[in-house]
Structures are given as C-alpha cells and as structure tokens.
Amino acid sequence: MSEQEPAHGHGASREGDRTSVRADERRSPGERPSPDERTSLGDGPRSGDRAQYGVCAFLALLGALVIVDALSITPLTSSNDPIGPRSVPVLLGVALLVVAVVYGVDVARGGRGEPEAGEDVDLSTAMDWRTVLLLAGAFAANAVLIEPLGWVISGTVMFWGAAFALGNRHHVRGLMIAVVLSLVTFYVFAIGLGVNLPAGVLQGIL
C-alpha cells in the first residue's frame, strides 16, 4: 500500500510539534497530498494561490465597514460605561485591517491555507461550480417558497433539488423520499413538538 506512506511519515515525523497538528489533521491520512497541497509546504514550483488576495480584500473591506458603522453611532458614554458602544467595533475593525495586511504579506511570501479534506471530498478534482450553484439554488428556493407555499412543499422542492444537484438520477425515488421526509418532519416537529414550521397553502389540508 504505497499510497499509505505519506500520511504516516507525516504523522510520525512531527511528533511533539504542537502547532502543526492542525496541518496534519487537514490532510486525511492515507491520501496522497494533491499537487496543490505540496506547494503549500513551501517548496513547490507554483507561486501560491492568487485567489487568497480576495480573502485579504474581504477582510479589509469588512474592517472598513465595521469602523464606518461604529463611527456612525452617536457616542454615548456614562459613568457606568466609560468606553461606550463604539470602542470595541473600532478595535475589531482595526484588527481586521491589520490581519488583512499580514495575510497579504503571508500570501505574497507563498503562504497557503490547505483546503479542508474529508470523507467525501476529493481535492484532486477541480472546483465544480455547477454543482455548487445548483445546490445553492435549491437552498435559496426553499428560502423564497417557505412562507407562501409552506414547509412541506418548499422542503420537498429543496430536498429533491439538492439531491438532483448532487448527482441523484433516481428522480421518482428522490421525490418520494423528499415528500415523506417533509411530511414526517412537519407532523413530528410542527404539530408534535410545537416547532414553528408554516403550513402555507396546505393549511387546513395537513
């Protein structure tokens, strides 16, 4: 089992180094490091992952937003609250800006966060945007439909749509599971346990 070697060598060679545990954990043992991950160790030919600058920009923008929002609050301090509601957000905003800069320097030096591994995650494949968007669409459909149509219908639509997005091609079976799941959760949780799930257009029928 030659493919087992990297993980084990990795785990054993770092004993005692506490800060590196997370790095070990992120790569599932037994899985060969993907080409991308190798570069993260600092010796690869690829000069890093440009998209990470997007994260820096996001952090910086968020920091700016937090500061602007904090400064728009009318200052209010009193003897029992000498620092008021503005100080903490301003501090966090500044910290975000600092982290964004340090992050950017780290990326420029070739630093790279390792994508999270998992049982069902195959990092050697390219990002499958179509599936992600379909899945997000199924989820958004539920958010839009839940009030007008009710949980049973919107939940069915979402389950069926999500399963379809993830590659399910047994449409009838998928639909049946979706309907049964929606009905059971509605009766058990909404009617049985008093959880707030809307009946929607099926009000009076269910």
Interface with another protein in residues 8-67 (CB under 8 A): 8, 11-12, 15-26, 28-31, 51-52, 55, 59, 62, 65-66
Shortest Å distance, C-beta 157 to another protein: 11
Of residues 61 through 100, those in contact with another protein by CB under 8 A are: 62, 65-66, 69-70, 73-74, 76-77, 79-85, 88-89, 92, 95-96, 99-100
44 CB neighbour count, 10 Å cutoff: 15
Torsion sign across C-alpha atoms 52, 134, 153, 201: positive
Distance CA 51, CA 165 (A): 25
Shortest Å distance, C-beta 13 to another protein: 11
Counting residues that bind another protein (by CB under 8 A) gives: 107
Of residues 144 through 203, those in contact with another protein by CB under 8 A are: 144, 146-147, 151, 155, 158-160, 162-168, 174, 177-178, 181-182, 185, 189, 193-198
> What Rg, from alpha-carbon coordinates, does the chain have?
25
Q: Does 131 bind another protein (CB under 8 A)?
A: yes
Distance CA 76, CA 162 (A): 48
Closer residue to another protein (CB): 100 or 153: 100
Distance CA 6, CA 91 (A): 43
Torsion angles phi and psi, residue 109, rounded to 5: -85, 5
